[in-house]
Amino acid sequence: MADKQAELEVGGETYDFPTIQGSVGPDVIDIRKLYGTTGRFTYDPGYKSTASCESALTYIDGDEGVLLHRGYPIGQLAEQSSFMEVSYLLLNGELPSKDELDEFSHTITYHTMIHDQMRQFYQGFRRDAHPMAIMCGVVGALSAFYHDSTDISDPEQRKIASHRLIAKMPTIAAWAYKYSVGQPFLYPNNSLSYTGNFLRMTFGVPAEDYEVVPAVEKAMDRIFILHADHEQNASTSTVRLAGSSGANPFACISAGIACLWGPAHGGANEAALNMLREIGTPDRIPHYIERAKDKNDPFRLMGFGHRVYKNYDPRATVMQKTVREVFDALNVSDPVFETALRLEEMALQDDYFVEKKLFPNVDFYSGVILSAIGFPTTMFTALFALARTVGWVAQWNEMISDPDQVIGRPRQLYTGPTARDYVPIGQR
Ligand code: ACO
């Protein structure tokens, strides 16, 4: 809804721009005509003040620590829902009826196998390849195997591609793990849930029956819910930007996986656990806090701080609780959890972290849980990619369905040399 005007005075002239109101959250100033009317661009590296699109999927209030999917608070979804139900919600806008959920789960279950020729792709990677390197390659390669779902102008093909991506991701991620440990790949088992199936394909072996531990299945499902979508973060924006050129969905999701891999984004859960293990014991925490505060030291507390949350990340609250549930279910403990709790407590009493509003984010505790379940650190970001795939495809679908969608093409502030004549090599 456009109503109020924003005034901009530049070069002695005043220009009016409409402001647009969303359903909740700050108004935006619509500057689409800025260049045409003023001959100026805006300058906003990192998009700290820029809304790149309109979206009805996910809402975050970073100051209040609120995260809503289609209006539903993440805490309620994590406690009461399932990853399949949240996936349906993100894709379709409403919670499903029982029949709708059964049908959706059935469809996803029956898309979990990957083309058998793709098994050979894995052999091309070194055994010590990072699972995210394998995920980028194998997911991108899906476009070479599923030609019948790459026409993005056909809603039915987009739907099939979305289902395929969500369904095949656990198989692809589990096989990346199996390949790294030299164990045979397990095919999906349709009698199991989405999450149970993933656990079996990851930790099962053909010689033995694999028993899915219900508490672990529930914890894993909850971790998937917590990672399902997070509005216009770096990897989602990457998927949208790649998709804006008309690229096929498999290529777009592969681009998202590549972006997610970075330690400032999805790679932070791996980095956070490595950091906690390096700290080792609570008595060493003050040293690391001092390092994090030192401007001359590149070290940061991994799993701390967030571009949008300037309050406790609501996902971190659920994660902290889930650590205890998994420890109880598996009858294990890990001193790293005590270190994490103590580090959080000490950092939140320190002026540096208080003033900069740096709180634990979703990655701070997720590594502790995943490690207790048995995942090596290199798999952490792969699990994030698996769960975020539903958010990526929902955002991609939303963008492609928008009749006003155009190719994403930022402008720049050019600071290089002005025009000059070419000098032949002998005269330089
Ligand atoms: N440890 C120490 N200092 C920090 C940290 C941290 N984890 N995070 C931010 N700061 C400081 C910065 O040094 C900076 O200080 P300055 O103003 O004195 O220069 C200030 O806080 C603001 O930091 P920015 O990097 O400008 O904040 P931005 O919003 O761009 O970055 C980010 C957010 C990348 C998440 C950052 O907090 C960070 O690097 N955290 C560690 C990595 C991490 O946990 N990433 C996971 C994010 S959640 C996710 O992707 C699922």
CB 292 less than 6 A from any atom of ligand 1: yes
Q: Tens digits of per-residue pLDDT, 104-149?
A: 999 999 999 999 999 999 999 999 999 999 999 999 999 999 999 8
Q: Can you give the pLDDT at residue 264?
A: 87
With b for 16 or more beta-carbon neighbours within 10 A and e for fewer, the 228-256 pattern comes to bbbbbbbbbbbbbbbbbeebbbbbbbbbb
CATH 1.10.230.10: which residues of the chain?
268-373
pLDDT tens track for 139-175: 999 999 999 989 999 999 999 999 999 999 999 999 9
Q: Which of 163, 306, 313, 334 is catalytic?
A: 306
Does 263 have pLDDT greater than 90?
no
> How far is ligand 1, taken at its centre, from the CA of residue 306, in Å?
6
Q: Which of 363, 402, 404, 421 is catalytic?
A: 363
371 close to 124: Cβ distance less than 8 angstroms: no
Q: What pLDDT was estimated at residue 2?
A: 54
For the chain, what is the mean pLDDT?
Answer: 94
Residues of the chain with CATH 1.10.580.10: 72-263+392-400
Fold designation for 268-373: Cytochrome p450-Terp; domain 2 (1.10.230)
Q: Is 209 annotated in the active site? A: no
For CATH 2.20.28.60, the residue range(s) in the chain are 4-51
Mutate to test the pocket of ligand 1, among 48, 60, 275, 300 (most ligand atoms within 8 A of CB): 300
- For atom 44 of ligand 1, which residue has the closest CA? 303
Whole-prediction pTM value?
Answer: 0.92
pLDDT at 202: 98
Active-site residue 3, yes or no? no
Residue 201 pLDDT: 98
CATH 1.10.580.10, domain 72-263+392-400, yes or no: yes
Nearest alpha carbon to residue 152 among 409, 402, 390, 410: 402
**CA 352 to ligand 1 center in whole angstroms:** 12
Question: What atom in ligand 1 is closest to the CA of residue 308?
Answer: 29
Model pLDDT for residues 181-191, shown as the tens digit of each residue:
999 999 999 99
CB neighbours of 413 closer than 8 A, spacing ≥ 6? Answer: 41, 43
Q: At what angle do helices 214-226 and 314-330 cross, to 10 degrees?
A: 170
CATH class, domain 4-51, is mainly beta
